[in-house]
């Protein structure tokens, strides 16, 4: 890993390691038989998880005890420390998309009655404590936080999402974090008016730190967000997967490879991961 971080630095770049705990959004098959865990014993419904044996229904997670929660918070600290030792400039807490930190935030996955459940203040406690622990371990302005206030994947739902995320963002903004990584809605919200259609409009004014925004952007839309000063950075996921030379393509406005979504998360071989053609084989617009 040191070779990767050094190569990024040699090119004048910076690199953060994203730290993720799947919580209940996992399966024991992928954990050598170890049970999955979560804030409450509530399984993800109406979705399936990829395993080495094919797709499976999600399992009911074992409920994390207070001691186990504290141990996981320490795990984040160790992971952040190891990332810095490996040459990363910082770490990003993946607190989005229905993974463990998001599970603590959400009413649909967190029905605890102790200090980590109930009110939005207590449901936010896990995320805040993880961030504080990592800041104490690796220093100020080296921890970013990824949030998805308008994404209901992995059976995430809240009755007051704007109040919840407004509270959480204000608390995190008071800490010496590096940035917020906000994900726009990636799936249709339909008639659900509880969730904001534009997270930058709803939460941007609460944030004094740098913002990275993600979610369905192309070259032109990303450039407009930055020119309009709604965000400092735009990140790309699927487009980068399909176009490993995406910045070069953007620079000359080249054609883009279309992501092959059938191969995403499926694993197996290089198809859909290392077989996309590079710019020299791409046409110009």
**Banded pLDDT at 283 (limits 50, 70, 90):** very low
Selected catalytic residue, list 58, 99, 179, 217: 99
Tell me whether residue 200 is in a domain. Answer: yes
Within a domain: residue 250?
no
Residue 258 is assigned to a structural domain of this protein: no
What's the average model confidence in pLDDT over 113-135?
98
CATH number of the domain residue 72 falls in = 3.20.20.70
Residue 254 burial (CB count, 10 A): 18
> Would you place residue 222 in the very low, low, confident or very high pLDDT band (cuts 50, 70, 90)?
very high
Q: pTM value?
A: 0.93
User: Is 99 an annotated catalytic residue?
Assistant: yes
Q: Which domain holds residue 130?
A: 2-235
pLDDT-derived band at 267 (thresholds 50, 70, 90) equals low
pLDDT, tens digit, for every residue of 166-187? 999 999 999 999 999 999 998 8
Residue 259: inside a domain: no
Judge contact between 283 and 255, C-beta under 8 A. Answer: yes
**247/240 Cα distance (integer angstroms):** 9
| 122, 140, 264 from 285: Cα distances, Å | 52, 43, 27
Mind listing the pLDDT tens digit for each residue in 30-70?
999 999 999 999 999 999 998 888 899 999 999 999 999 99
- In a domain, residue 243? The reply is no
Instruction: Using alpha carbons only, give the angle 50, 66, 165 rounded to the nearest 5 degrees.
Output: 65
Number of domains in the chain: 1
């Amino acid at each position: 890993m040191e070779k990767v971080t050094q190569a990024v630095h040699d090119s004048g770049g910076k690199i953060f390691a994203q730290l993720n705990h799947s919580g209940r959004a996992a399966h024991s098959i992928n954990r050598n038989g170890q049970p999955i865990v979560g804030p409450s014993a509530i399984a993800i419904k109406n979705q399936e998880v990829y395993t080495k044996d094919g797709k499976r229904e999600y399992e009911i997670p074992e409920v994390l005890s207070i001691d186990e929660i504290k141990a996981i918070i320490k795990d984040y600290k160790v992971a952040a420390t190891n990332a810095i030792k490996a040459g990363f400039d910082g770490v990003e807490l993946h607190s989005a998309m229905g993974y463990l930190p998001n599970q603590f935030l959400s009413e649909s996955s967190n029905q605890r009655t102790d200090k980590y459940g109930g009110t939005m203040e207590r449901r936010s406690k896990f995320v805040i404590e993880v961030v504080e622990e990592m800041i104490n371990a690796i220093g100020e302005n080296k921890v970013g936080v990824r949030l998805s206030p308008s994404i209901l994947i992995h059976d995430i739902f809240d009755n007051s999402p704007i109040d919840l995320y407004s509270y959480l963002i204000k608390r995190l903004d008071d800490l010496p974090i590096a940035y917020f990584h906000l994900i726009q809605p990636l799936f249709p919200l339909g008639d659900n008016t509880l969730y904001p259609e534009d997270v930058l409009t709803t939460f941007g004014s609460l944030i004094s730190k740098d913002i990275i925004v993600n979610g369905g952007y192309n070259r032109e839309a990303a450039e407009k967000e930055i020119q309009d000063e709604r965000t400092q950075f735009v990140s790309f996921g699927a487009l980068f997967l399909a176009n490993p030379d995406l910045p070069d393509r953007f620079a000359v406005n080249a054609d883009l490879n279309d992501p092959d979504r059938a191969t995403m998360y499926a694993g197996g071989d290089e198809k859909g991961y290392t077989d996309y053609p590079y710019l020299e084989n791409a046409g110009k617009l």
